[in-house]
Amino acid sequence: MVKLSIIISYYKALDNLKLILEALNHQSSKEFEAIISEDDSNQETIDFLKSDSDNYNFPILHVNQEKDDGFRKTMMLNKSIRASNAETLVFIDGDCIPHKHFVTAYINNIEEGLMLKGRRVMLGEKITDKITTNKTIKPLSTLSVLFSDSDKKKEGIYLKNKSLIVTMKDKGLLGCNWGIQKKHLIAINGFDEDYVRAAVGEDTDIEWRLKRIGIGSKSMKNKAIVYHLHHERGYSNEGVEMNRVLLKEKMDKDLYICLNGLEKHS
């Protein structure tokens, strides 16, 4: 049985997805499955997986929408939880390429009662263009990233046993790189599907609800690394603010077990 289900939130960026799958094909541990969590209904994705999935050395599952009905990421994450075969789930976004020891880091650090929080290197325009134009992850060596036009480069220095900088501050969960045991997500009824705008629902909301049932945090900084491809921001400040208002309402009502999640409650 696989030890990790890596859930990749994906929307209309097949070339980026191919880069992620290439990186997963070169992982130092093969004890995982990948779940492509597509917030869309795209024949191009289906055709690609049908023709190319045998080229990868890990199992690939695909869950998608019946139609493209706007931002429904949390709905797709719940569908992916239901489809997963591992007891530990790791979440990344479709613009984040995992380091070669990404899977190993999560397998070695998973603990009951803890959410694992990874960070990301923010790749610059130039190195992103080199990666996407040549359709290869080869430019993602440590030295190439350090001397590139990227931000948060220190997050890309891999250290097997500890972080580069030890800090007591508990940084917020990033929805693009984190892990948890499936049973803990089931305990809070999964992701809240009331969030139909980007940001907050897939990270801030899920974090406060997990903390509410006593789940602690463990940093994966400099262990589980992803490289975020540069692109323009795909969401508005207005949408984020509307989500924050919604979050406050739910916190005020103490709805840490969401009503509109893996199961639907009135």
Strand 216-219 versus strand 114-117 pairing type: parallel
- Do the strands 216-219 and 88-93 form a parallel or antiparallel pair, or are they unpaired? unpaired
Residue 213 to residue 129: CA distance in whole angstroms: 43
Q: What distance in Å separates the CA atoms of residue 172 and residue 163, rounded to the nearest whole number?
A: 16
Q: What is the pTM of this model?
A: 0.95
Low-confidence residues in the chain, pLDDT < 50: 168
Backbone angles phi, psi at 68, to 5 degrees: -80, 105
**Which of 79, 91, 114 has the alpha carbon at shortest distance from 32?**
91
pLDDT in tens, 145-177: 999 999 999 999 999 877 665 554 678 999 999
**H-run or E-run covering 9:** strand 4-10
Q: Which run of H or E residues covers position 209? A: helix 204-212
Q: What six digits make up the tokens of 214?
A: 């006593």
What pLDDT score was predicted for residue 235? 75
Residue 80: C-alpha distances to residues 56, 178, 249, 261 (Å) = 20, 15, 27, 12
pLDDT tens digits for range 100-109: 999 999 999 9
Determine the CATH number of domain 4-252. 3.90.550.10
pLDDT at residue 234, rounded to an integer: 72
Which tokens go with 246? 């919604």
d(CA 211, CA 253) in angstroms, rounded, equals 16
